[in-house]
Structure 1
Amino acid sequence: MPKKITFTAEQEHAFEKACRDAGLRLTHQRLEIYRELATSTDHPSAETLHQRLRRGNPSLSLDTVYRTLAVFAHHGIINRVETVESQSRFETKRMRHHHLICSRCKEIIDFQWHHIDEAPLPEETRSWGRIDNKNVVIYGVCNKCLVSEKTS
């Protein structure tokens, strides 16, 4: 099981406000899905979230998890992590960060890169239109996979 972070009362209040601002009803299922995602450090897929949540709520359907994540992402409450996999991965909005993704085990690690965040975009991008987000995703092979490769 991946490492968990604590879900604070402040996060819950911020989530409730985000739902109100988006015109979404705050349901028990939505709160549980958000709470599980907010306490996860592994950028889980909808399927992974569903497996974790079913332990405490066996009647929760995978379709409900998919639809809820899509609604949250549409309203900017969560982020869909861009990967080359066909399976979407998700995270709650936290401080500005970028991602390292292992091309073997698919682990995703957050990192900060202030120089990129503060750097102006290249001149040729300025005439394109409005840029809403600047995000770096770096692919490679993590140390765990490199070590297991050497011992195989």
Structure 2
Amino acid sequence: MAKQRDHNQEQIDAFAQACRNAGLRLTHQRLEIYRELAAATDHPSAEVLHQRLRRRIPTLSLDTVYRTLATFARHGLINRVETVESQSRFEAKGMRHHHLICSRCREIIDFQWPAIDATALPEEIAPWGRIDTRNVVVYGICRTCLE
């Protein structure tokens, strides 16, 4: 448990430094939004984060959560998980990974795929410009939904 707490504090400290580097003020609300997102394992939407945070910060508006997440994503502090649904989902940056999404229940699972990460991209896209990230999103139906 202490090891997890140390890791969480290291992640928060790295986030605080990244905010300073990006010229962003580290307000109480921003810190709590990031802290909640970093603790989440379910890739929550802004609405879900807002519901969770309202217990601790009753005055927090949904608009503030949306704007904060957009700011964090724009500065590369968090990832917006691309899905086919209209509602964006978010995660704190962490180890390189890809996503498996259930088309029925919308559960998102992280997985690692080192072979894809190491594979060279096709040469015909080289003239396009600079590739910053690559992400595989796999859609299917999870075991729970199949049963």
The C-alpha deviation readout for 1:10-58, integer Å capped at 9, x for no partner, is 1121011011001001100000000000000000000000000001111
Is there any run of 5+ residues in structure 2 with no aligned partner, and where?
none
Mapped to 1, the partners of 2:64 and 2:109 lie a distance apart of: 27
Q: CA RMSD in A?
A: 1.1
Partner of 1:126 in structure 2? 126
Q: C-alpha distance in 2, partners of 1:113/1:97?
A: 7
Displacement after TM superposition at 1:88 (Å): 0.3
CA distance in 1, matches of 2:33, 2:77: 12
% of aligned pairs identical? Answer: 74
Structure 1 stretches of at least 4 aligned residues deviating more than 3 Å after TM superposition? none
- Which structure has more helix as a fraction of its residues? 2
Q: Paired residue for 2:100?
A: 100
Distance 1:75 1:63 in 2: 18
Write the letter of the residue equivalent to 1:24: L
Residue number in structure 1 paired with 2:68: 68
TM-superposition CA deviations, 1:69-110 (whole Å, max 9, x none): 000000000000011111000001101000000000000000
2:80 corresponds in structure 1 to 80
Gaps of at least 5 residues in structure 1 are 148-152
Shift, 1:124, TM fit: 1.6
After superposition, where does 1:54-65 map in structure 2 within 5 Å? 54-65=54-65
Query: What letter corresponds to residue 33 of structure 1 in structure 2?
Result: I
Alignment of 1:29-40 (within 5 A): 29-40=29-40
**TM-score, with normalisation over the residues of structure 1?**
0.91
Length-normalised TM-score, structure 2? 0.94
Matched letter for residue 57 of structure 2: N
Partner of 1:150: none
